[in-house]
Structure 1
């Protein structure tokens, strides 16, 4: 085992968490930039209907992301815990299973999506004048799904070794390609939303090639062995048990986005759908640093827990929760005070700018609680505790948000859609609190420290 991996159980927690998380934060912001850059150029080059079409396609993109993170998060937890326990063969086996799983899921998802594209788009609110834009965009995105899922999975595997820098570099190169290709395809080649989709697909191919180059260089603890890609029942079961919670969380988010789009079409207009397309991209930028923190936090917590360093694991957990809450509070302040400045880059349409600004302010009233809830759910993923991880991943989006989305618009119309977001943030944070406090006490008891 190399010195970088062993540092997870040895170096001071604060600087180590920063070192692990900062590249992850940058990497996740880069990942979010794909949709944000698309929205920027589509808003300027195609207009509100183009934004509405990509907003309709966004739930399906989230389902694709869920497929990649299903194996990636599960394998990351297993690899980091195995390395912490000095079980290198088990960690290598987890990577082999992840490779096989990613290829199967990538090909199957692309085939199913292409075969059922129109019914899937109709299910999430694609109809009328919006549907052609959504169809044109998603048809091309689906062609790149195998590369997208493999890239996500390998990024998680690299981070499981504590090497978040390589993952960050790969995402930076990929995002740079997307930023260059988007205006080329949209404006230079007059490709519209289809051009934006081609730019995204090609940039994902760049990501995969960069990560394959890393594994071929021999710089990693584990080896990528395509000839050993196969399913091993015991390892696949453990990967699936942990990864299911993340798959459910992102799939639930896709369900939520689809339900929001349908509700906006019912209680609002295509302009409301376009406004949500802008706001959802902005919020993806706000969420991604939290997910980047989670990526640095999970292998650090999993390694120390697997190594029996329970006091150190508690320190990692408490410090990470504090950092996530502080970041969420900053985002909350910016969205409440400067909503117009945040929305303006995406559109010159005055009505869309006004509606998007009001929507952003309403949707983020409870955002200062979001970081705590995300890190709370990720805690149990990192520790391999699948049931609480699954329950907490479901709580905010499925158990709380969807019922609110069904009820509030009946009483408040369009504004009921927006207000469902802060109410679900508040209730889910309250639900997560006792789980987190119980886990902190368990770590204190295992270490023999003082119980608070």
Structure 2
């Protein structure tokens, strides 16, 4: 109890703590979402539907970059903190150095792989013939930024582990601002179209990576030396083991995105909308929905340390309160997003450029059907984070996979067989509802046991 009284996590008002921890996380998540939104906005305004479709085709590669960054960044950060807690500073600095080198190396390997197999990859990701050229132009340039994107994203977790979360936000925000400024300059000023958007993105990523590199040369708690940068299997294995859960969730998202793109292309060709319209509309809607999820995930991350501390202190009433308070915030954000998606779908889609009436018709229908259960979509990710926070990662991993892999992926494959492209739309709300229901059941059982 002395530890609880001495630590503000065990004494301060829950609402104050959630705001304190959640706001930086929300801002960091929003910055990541803004990267994709900005490109989508300017490409839609300059190239149009086919350009928006091309960015959606390339989107699985962005998810792949995040997966690698989480594998090595979160894994490295966890191993670093655990070693510091054990008092083994020598081992801790090896984890930091090895993770840093592996991040850039894996990014370089992905870059080369994509450039070598560019055309077959674009076809595999669902690019129709009239979108292929735009997708190849965009991806061939953004691939150059993969080492920098993966390094900066993964390093953010390492720098947070070193006790500097504000610096992480600083360099991510710097990269996003540079991208936002350069996008209109390259796209409209220099008339570079897709290539301009891609180049602006890469420059922003390089700047963010350089700022992250600058910090890692002068960490707060340890000093990385050349010997710490040489990858060793004993450290690499530990890093990957601790980062696997977070990585796997992103891989699941990537698989779903690829299957979704291919289904949209196939069933779109059989519908009045054609191949490109569904790809373009869904690309925009997915990235708009990311902004909503950035807030939800930020709240979840803010909840995590509070729930973890109080669970360890066996202050279970406070554990329950932090979950329910966080969920109330999440439900409020979800309800607001639901109203926006249902009432203003045409206005939202119009922000990203004009299109044919068929384009707007599909986008509005997709917004309203696919995202119908947005008002409960916070329950599943927040519950998954909660289980991880209280030391039950298996339940957390299971919940994190329910919507994407267990429910949505099979439904995307099965429902269109009977309903055509409309089946893809209905796959979303069915998966959302069942995932939320499973989460509620598991949480209710867990809360009854917290006595």
CA distance in 2, matches of 1:375, 1:227: 40
Alpha-carbon displacement from aligned partner over 1:228-278 (angstroms, at most 9, x marks no partner): 135566664454344222212111111112111111111112112111121
Asked if the contact 2:111–2:147 (Cα under 8 Å) also holds between the matched residues in 1, the reply is yes
Name the counterpart of 1:113. 114
Name the counterpart of 1:342. 348
Unaligned runs of 5+ in 2: 1-6, 269-273
SS in 1 for 2:129: coil
Shift of the alpha carbon at 1:56? Answer: 0.7
Alpha-carbon displacement from aligned partner over 1:2-41 (angstroms, at most 9, x marks no partner): xxxx765665443222122112212211211111111111
Change (3 A) 1:342 1:91: farther
Name the counterpart of 1:57. 58
Shift of the alpha carbon at 1:378? Answer: 2.3
SS in 2 for 1:144: helix
Name the counterpart of 1:278. 284
Name the counterpart of 1:188. 189
Say which is worse superposed, 421-430 or 294-303, in terms of deviation. Answer: 294-303
Name the counterpart of 1:422. 429
Shift of the alpha carbon at 1:182? Answer: 0.6
Shift of the alpha carbon at 1:196? Answer: 0.8
Shift of the alpha carbon at 1:58? Answer: 0.8
CA distance in 1, matches of 2:78, 2:146: 24
CA distance in 1, matches of 2:283, 2:132: 14
Asked if the contact 1:245–1:393 (Cα under 8 Å) also holds between the matched residues in 2, the reply is no
Task: Calculate the TM-score normalised by the size of structure 2.
Answer: 0.87
- Following superposition of structure 1 onto structure 2, how do residues 26-105 of structure 1 map, counting pairs within 5 Å? 26-78=27-79, 87=87, 89=89, 92-105=93-106
Name the counterpart of 2:266. 266
Asked if the contact 2:93–2:228 (Cα under 8 Å) also holds between the matched residues in 1, the reply is no
Asked if the contact 2:301–2:385 (Cα under 8 Å) also holds between the matched residues in 1, the reply is no
Alpha-carbon displacement from aligned partner over 1:301-352 (angstroms, at most 9, x marks no partner): 4566667776655544443333223322221222112212211111222422
Say which is worse superposed, 227-236 or 24-33, in terms of deviation. Answer: 227-236
Unaligned runs of 5+ in 1: 1-5, 445-450
Name the counterpart of 1:243. 243
Alpha-carbon displacement from aligned partner over 1:174-199 (angstroms, at most 9, x marks no partner): 11100111111111222211111111
Shift of the alpha carbon at 1:370? Answer: 1.8
Q: Within the alignment, does 1:122 sit opposite 2:123 as a pair?
A: yes
Q: Within the alignment, does 1:363 sit opposite 2:364 as a pair?
A: no
Change (3 A) 1:173 1:128: same
Q: Within the alignment, does 1:354 sit opposite 2:361 as a pair?
A: yes
Q: Within the alignment, does 1:399 sit opposite 2:406 as a pair?
A: yes
Change (3 A) 1:238 1:428: farther
SS in 2 for 1:366: helix
Say which is worse superposed, 318-327 or 282-291, in terms of deviation. Answer: 318-327
- Following superposition of structure 1 onto structure 2, how do residues 285-300 of structure 1 map, counting pairs within 5 Å? 285-300=291-306
Name the counterpart of 2:383. 376
Asked if the contact 2:48–2:354 (Cα under 8 Å) also holds between the matched residues in 1, the reply is no
Q: Within the alignment, does 1:321 sit opposite 2:322 as a pair?
A: no
* Count of residue pairs brought into register by the alignment: 438
Shift of the alpha carbon at 1:78? Answer: 4.8
CA distance in 1, matches of 2:232, 2:302: 27
SS in 2 for 1:130: helix
Name the counterpart of 1:257. 257
Asked if the contact 2:334–2:377 (Cα under 8 Å) also holds between the matched residues in 1, the reply is yes
Asked if the contact 1:241–1:386 (Cα under 8 Å) also holds between the matched residues in 2, the reply is no
Change (3 A) 1:376 1:233: farther
Shift of the alpha carbon at 1:432? Answer: 2.5
Name the counterpart of 2:271. none
Q: CA-atom RMSD, angstroms?
A: 2.8
Alpha-carbon displacement from aligned partner over 1:367-395 (angstroms, at most 9, x marks no partner): 12221111222234445644333322222
- Following superposition of structure 1 onto structure 2, how do residues 136-147 of structure 1 map, counting pairs within 5 Å? 136-147=137-148
CA distance in 1, matches of 2:412, 2:215: 45
Task: Calculate the TM-score normalised by the size of structure 1.
Answer: 0.87
Alpha-carbon displacement from aligned partner over 1:61-93 (angstroms, at most 9, x marks no partner): 21122111222233445556667x575736555
CA distance in 2, matches of 1:223, 1:395: 41
Alpha-carbon displacement from aligned partner over 1:121-158 (angstroms, at most 9, x marks no partner): 11111131111111111111111111111111111223
Asked if the contact 1:301–1:382 (Cα under 8 Å) also holds between the matched residues in 2, the reply is yes
SS in 1 for 2:191: coil
Asked if the contact 1:162–1:299 (Cα under 8 Å) also holds between the matched residues in 2, the reply is no
Change (3 A) 1:242 1:329: farther
